Structure 1
């Protein structure tokens, strides 16, 4: 899926991603159905499987991305390296590695470090994140070439983990609402 559409300022890639299927889950993470991304994020939100990736460099810094202005949920906010939804029945690590290639043009070995659930409504769109989130960690050299997809990412930067945790507490509206939970899961691992 590629290309940028001109209607209403939302890229064709983002629009087509909204029609992809996701796996609905119960509170314990057991699959219990499917919906499109768009359907799962309509209020009040439907709990579905997601993943959040954190890449660390050899110095322990984490790679953050600022979500593209065209994103339908929490655009322009800083978030973890990459996140997304596996398709129904798709292994989480496989889906996460695919999204790393699509969003940043990089390969990395990934390991799941924990899971948590959260719900957050985007104040601009009214759409709801209601996700059973698998948190994955990987390593990447700080000087590795990155190729951010502009339909997904406006900017990337490396940052100290503790500094990001403090910044999220001080200015939560500058960050994706799931980032605090992702970082806490990473630290607890």
Structure 2
């Protein structure tokens, strides 16, 4: 069975996102583009980090056409649920769209951050739900419009890379890694 790639005619910037208050309570909606205009509007997002059976994590280099932080390395996939859409449902859909993968996902934490992208002038201001999953020996089938490159890497090596070369990585990856790895390690113990 061949997975369907993301519809290239979909204007992801026009899709709605759910605006939230500082505690994550929904307070409205706007387009992706509007939420990411400076100074950025706090909205709901998710970040998925997949682990393999050896404890490595799947990271991606964001495609060059991304409107925020293009060509930087990030967690497995991320996105925004539509207003009122369950986070787990939205994340599972996005994981299939970006990587052609399915995994049982578990939410393991949330955090807020704000980060400006000097390259594009856009701003991330997100209430981010961190989700993890474990997959066996699978070969990702990334959509090239979403993913420039991908790699399996140990959390320890990724931490060292983040410390030595922070400009290569998205500003949210370090926090996603810490929340996800802590939960994954606790689950394995």
Supply the distance in 1 between the matched residues of 2:109 and 2:159 (Cα, whole angstroms): 18
Supply the distance in 2 between the matched residues of 1:114 and 1:159 (Cα, whole angstroms): 22
The structural deviation recorded for 1:2 is 2.0
Residue 156 of structure 1: aligned partner: 150
Shift of the 106–187 alpha-carbon distance from structure 1 to 2, 3 Å rule, reads closer
Instruction: Report the 3-state secondary structure (helix = DSSP H, G, I; strand = E; otherwise coil) of the residue aligned with 2:14.
Output: coil
- Give me the TM-score of the superposition, normalised by structure 2: 0.91
Instruction: Report the 3-state secondary structure (helix = DSSP H, G, I; strand = E; otherwise coil) of the residue aligned with 1:138.
Output: strand
Q: Does 1:74 align with 2:69?
A: yes
Residue 41 of structure 1: aligned partner: 36
Residue 105 of structure 2: aligned partner: 110
Any conservation in 1 of the 2:155–2:181 contact (CA below 8 Å)? no
Residue 59 of structure 1: aligned partner: 54
Residue 6 of structure 1: aligned partner: none
The Cα offsets for residues 116-175 of structure 1, whole Å up to 9 and x where unpaired, read as 00000001111000000000000112x313110111101111000011011111111100
Supply the distance in 2 between the matched residues of 1:106 and 1:168 (Cα, whole angstroms): 25
Query: What's the C-alpha RMSD, in Å, of the aligned pairs?
Result: 1.0
Residue 7 of structure 1: aligned partner: none
Instruction: Report the 3-state secondary structure (helix = DSSP H, G, I; strand = E; otherwise coil) of the residue aligned with 1:42.
Output: coil
Match of 2:132 among 134, 137, 145: 137
Q: Which runs of 4+ in 1 moved over 3 A?
A: none
Instruction: Report the 3-state secondary structure (helix = DSSP H, G, I; strand = E; otherwise coil) of the residue aligned with 2:152.
Output: strand
Task: Give the length in aligned residue pairs.
Answer: 178
Match of 2:18 among 23, 41, 45: 23
Unpaired stretches in structure 1, ≥5 consecutive residues: 4-11
Instruction: Report the 3-state secondary structure (helix = DSSP H, G, I; strand = E; otherwise coil) of the residue aligned with 1:73.
Output: coil
Supply the distance in 2 between the matched residues of 1:49 and 1:160 (Cα, whole angstroms): 28
- Give me the TM-score of the superposition, normalised by structure 1: 0.91
Supply the distance in 1 between the matched residues of 2:101 and 2:176 (Cα, whole angstroms): 21
Q: Does 1:182 align with 2:176?
A: yes
